[in-house]
Amino acid sequence: MADTGVLETLLQRVEKVDDGVDSLDVATSLGVDHQVIVGAVKSLQALGDVISAELRSSKHWELTEEGTEIAEQGSHESRVFSCIPLEGLAQSELMKLPFGKIGFSKAMSNKWIRVDKAHEGGPRIFRTVESIEDQVREKLFLVQKGNSTQLEEKEKNELKKRKLLSEVTVKSYWITKGNSFSTTITKQETELTPEMIASGNWKEKKFKPYNFEAMGVAPDCGHLHPLMKVRTQFRQIFLEMGFTEMPTNNFIESSFWNFDSLFQPQQHPARDQHDTFFLSDPAHAHQFPQDYLERVKKVHSEGGYGSQGYKYDWKIEEAQKNILRTHTTAVSARMLYKLAQQKFTPVKYFSIDRVFRNETLDATHLAEFHQIEGVVADYGLTLGDLMGVLHQFFTKLGITKLRFKPAYNPYTEPSMEVFSYHEGLKKWVEVGNSGVFRPEMLLPMGLPEGVSVIAWGLSLERPTMIKYGINNIRELVGHKVNLQMVYDSPICRNPPTHF
């Protein structure tokens, strides 16, 4: 709201005239910036029909920089005139002055001065009149004071030609009285309060109308966390490659599906309290496919299917222990077992979900993270198929340079760590783990001989951190996350080029 003083002064001006006033004239006569009056007009318009204001554009004369200088110091010709003493001045001296050249020719054509060319010591200039009238300066004064209408068009155009005046288009308001014109301003209510309703005084109040043209505040809306955005991208890649998503909606898993079914021996260090979170309530799971459980027990303790097993005393109690799943491969095991119970058809499965490990927390490790896993089952799949599918998968992410390094997993043979060349870091970085599931895992499930299953896994956090330039995982996940980061993180339109 503009200053009430300005509003009331403006209203008084409008009251005095019949046909209206121009906002620009009001500004000039009040000696305030035009924007102040424009602001007052807007405030009055918001009050209802107090005034009516019509926008119009008018041409308007203004002094140029040089024009302003002349208005202050006089025209070049008048300055030439005033620096010539009675005994005259050498023309060469005059020409040295900044206003000398133009001033000389104008003063000559005004017949204010003359040149004595035959003067000894070179041409000399003398006054021809006693006094002069600096009309140029006077005219500029008129324009400066906003009285340019007192000048003839021809005069103004001449000054324009001399680059002392310029004509500018200005937008102004033509202000007239509105239907509810008044010179006093009554503040309009912006809200109907319970008190007004209770006392009934709302009847006397004036309410400000809604301005439906006002720019609204951008509404707050949900923003996806970067992890969820990158998850969408990976899901899209799998879907493009014809993979089906596995149901991963169980964070709690039995040791049986998380470890035993994957031919991971019961003494394996990963099954220790230090690496895995065990549940105290319910501490155990009891429902397992009995015949399958027997086959798993047998392959661990005695071997079979051409394997000598681990030769140890396999205990059901160990397999029953409930844990927070340490990898999504537990879900893959469940799905492959389910597949083995039907007539076999080749499948391509994937999952992206949360896993838990009892880790020492640091800048790159948390006790929970997301795993991305891909599984393909078909007759006769080889390590070459695994390398091929990994190439296809990573190419879709923009990663084309891959290297494989022999590794060990209890459930895969052979196993390979996957490395990609990171263009930014200029080195090979590990991007995943992979392998061909062992017969000791697949055959007890009941999958036909000759069917092999290739699989790979990677974390979701790592590519996300690289893509979003986050160095500390705690800035991405957990209570220290700055929500502004989520708000500001743009939608990923392109796959990450490298991670």
Interface with ligand PHE by CB under 6 A: which residues? Answer: 327, 329, 373, 409, 412, 433-435, 455-457
Q: Which of 62, 417 has the CB closer to ligand PHE?
A: 417
Q: Taking the complex as a whole, how short is the minimal distance between the CB of residue 296 and ligand PHE, in angstroms? A: 18
Q: Taking the complex as a whole, how short is the minimal distance between the CB of residue 350 and ligand PHE, in angstroms? A: 11
Q: Which of 366, 486 has the CB closer to ligand PHE?
A: 366
Q: Which of 349, 468 has the CB closer to ligand PHE?
A: 349
| Strand ordering across the sheet containing 89-90 | 89-90, 124-127, 113-116
Nearest to 254 by CA among 199, 324, 306, 198: 324
**In one letter, which amino acid is 55?**
L
Q: Taking the complex as a whole, how short is the minimal distance between the CB of residue 237 and ligand PHE, in angstroms? A: 17
SS3 label, residue 166: strand
Q: Which of 265, 435 has the CB closer to ligand PHE?
A: 435
Q: Taking the complex as a whole, how short is the minimal distance between the CB of residue 455 and ligand PHE, in angstroms? A: 4
Nearest to 232 by CA among 466, 483, 464: 464
Q: Taking the complex as a whole, how short is the minimal distance between the CB of residue 476 and ligand PHE, in angstroms? A: 19
Q: Which of 261, 329 has the CB closer to ligand PHE?
A: 329
Q: Taking the complex as a whole, how short is the minimal distance between the CB of residue 465 and ligand PHE, in angstroms? A: 17
Give the residues across from 415 on adjacent strands: 407, 435
Q: Where in 13-92 does DSSP place strands (E)?
A: 21-22, 51-63, 89-90
Q: How far is CA 346 from the centre of its chain?
A: 44
Q: Taking the complex as a whole, how short is the minimal distance between the CB of residue 223 and ligand PHE, in angstroms? A: 30
Burial string for 204-215 (b: 16+ CB within 10 Å, else e) reads eeeeeeeeeeee
Rounded to whole angstroms, the Cα distance separating 256 from 294 reads 12
Helices (H), 145-289: 153-161, 194-199, 226-240, 255-258
Q: Which residue has tokens 């202000």?
A: 175
Nearest residue to ligand PHE by CB is 457
Q: Which of 156, 327 has the CB closer to ligand PHE?
A: 327
Burial string for 178-200 (b: 16+ CB within 10 Å, else e) reads beeeeeeeeeeeeeeeeebeeee
Q: Taking the complex as a whole, how short is the minimal distance between the CB of residue 412 and ligand PHE, in angstroms? A: 5
DSSP character at residue 184: S
Q: Which of 43, 264 has the CB closer to ligand PHE?
A: 264
Q: Which of 145, 405 has the CB closer to ligand PHE?
A: 405
| Backbone phi and psi for residue 303, each to the nearest 5 degrees, phi listed first | 95, -165
**In one letter, which amino acid is 161?**
K
